[in-house]
Every structure is written in C-alpha cells, then in structure tokens.
Amino acid sequence: MRLLTHNMLSSNIKGVTNGFPLRIEVEKVVEKQVDLSPAFLRNMFSKIEWKALVDASHSFGYAELPEQADASMLDSEDFLRKFHHALLELHLEEGALICPETGRRFPVSKGIPNMLLHEDECIMMTVDKLKTTDPPSPQIPGIGLAREKALDGYSKAVEGIAKVKMKIMSKRKQKFIIWLARNTKSSREPQQVNLERCTS
C-alpha cells in the first residue's frame, strides 16, 4: 500500500465521524521504484491532504517532506522527487491501518489493505428506523426534488430490465401453451412438462 492510498482511505465504521487519517502500524516497509511523472504529481497534489501525508511518511521513517507545502513548490525538482518518493515509492507491505476513533485494525498483507467491515460495523438499520432516528436533513433545500430525480434514473434502468423480461417470459409462455395444445391433441401421451419452468 502506497501513501497515496493511505491518503484516500478512512475508517467507514458506523458511528465513526472522523475516521481519517488512519494510524499506520508498520511491520515491513519496502521501497519500489516508480518512474517519476511530474504531470501525475501535479494532478495529485491538489487532492492530497498534505498533513496526513507528512505524518504518514514519518511513521515510515521518512522525514524529508516539509510540514507545509503549496502549489508553487511543484516547480522545484527536488521537492517533486521527495513528494514522488513519499507518495508512490514507499510501500507498506505488512502491517495495519488503525481507526483513530475505535482502534479497529484494518490489516495490510502482501501490500493489500483489507477495508471490508465486519457485520456489526456496517449500518444494518431498516428504512423505518432510519426515518425515526436519522431523518433526511431538512435544512438542505431542494432535497426532495434531487431525490426524486435520482430515484427516477435508477428505477428506470431496472424497470427496463423487468419489462423486457416480462415480455420474453409471456411470449415463451404463449408458445408453450400452443405447443402443449398441439401435443395433447395427438394420440401420443402428452409429454411430461414442468409448468413451473415457464412461469417462474
């Protein structure tokens, strides 16, 4: 896991309000060479939480980054190289990320952080409960409209699927009925058919 990833991740356990930045528990850090791309670094610079990056690089034992940084420093080759090294070349191979609020350990093994939550850590409330305990913030104007719009877009997609499916199914069912009628008229024993297959 590179520090760029660390800079993006937070603990999303229910009830945690500020799960960023995650503390780093270091077991093994490796350095991997990455080609320096100034364009990419410039692209990323504005999106990075600088303080979190500096603190994280300290926990890896890298103290070259300045405490403060602004976009003008990107013109300096030296700064770019340090930024590049901290952001992309230092890898946490084994260790863990620790939620600052709850102390929950997200293990990092073979360089892959495991951010999946346990059952009791994600919200499992029903919508009714949500409405009573956590109403949609009324202070935001236009929420009703935005919501309606959003619902429209998604449900349209699923309605499309359902509609075509119904059509296909009903057609198949009709064909099946014709086929059944034809076959039962003949002298042969009607073949055994599974009605459920056609209706389900």
Partner 1 sequence: MWYLCVFYHRLLDYRKAEVESLSHLFGASDVEEENDKAHSLEWRLPQHHHPDSPFHFVNLPSEDIARKIANRSILVKGMYEVWGEGDSYEELEESVKSFPEERKLPYLDSESSFKINVDSFGKALTFQEQNQRMQALNFIPFKGRVNLKNPDHKFWLMETDDSGSNNGLPPIVQRRIFFGREIGGADRKLIPTYQLKSRTYLGPTAMDAEMAFLMANQALATPGKLVYDPFVGTGSILVGAAHFGAMTMGADIDIRVVRDGRGPDCNVWSNFKQYGLSMPIALLRADNNLPPWRTGLKEMFDAIICDPPYGVRAGGRKSGGRKLLKGAVSPYVVPDDKRTDHIPSTAPYSLVECVHDLLDLASRMLVMGGRLVFFFPVLREDDCVVVNNYPEHECFKLISASEQILSSRYSRVLLTMVKISPYTKEIAEAARIKHMEFKENHLKWLEDGNLHSAVFSPADSKSSAGDEGKLSKDPKPKYRGKYV
Nearer to partner 1, 76 or 183 (CB): 183
Residues 23-42 that bind partner 1 (CB under 8 A): 32, 34-35, 37, 39-40, 42
CA–CA distance, 86 with 65 (Å, rounded to integer):
8
CA–CA distance, 57 with 85 (Å, rounded to integer):
10
Selected binder of partner 1 within 126, 132, 133, 187 (CB under 8 A): 126
Selected binder of partner 1 within 9, 26, 29, 74 (CB under 8 A): 9
Q: Among 53-61, 62-70, 73-81, 126-134, which window interacts with partner 1 (CB under 8 A)?
A: 126-134
CA–CA distances in Å: residue 154 to residues 30, 35, 125, 164, 166: 44, 41, 22, 16, 19
CA–CA distance, 200 with 197 (Å, rounded to integer):
6
Residues 79-118 that bind partner 1 (CB under 8 A): 88, 105, 107, 109-118
CA–CA distances in Å: residue 178 to residues 55, 175, 189: 74, 5, 16
Could you give the string, one character per residue 128-167, with x where binding to partner 1 holds by CB under 8 A and - elsewhere? --x-----xx--x-xx-xxx-xxxxxx-xxxxxxxxxx-x
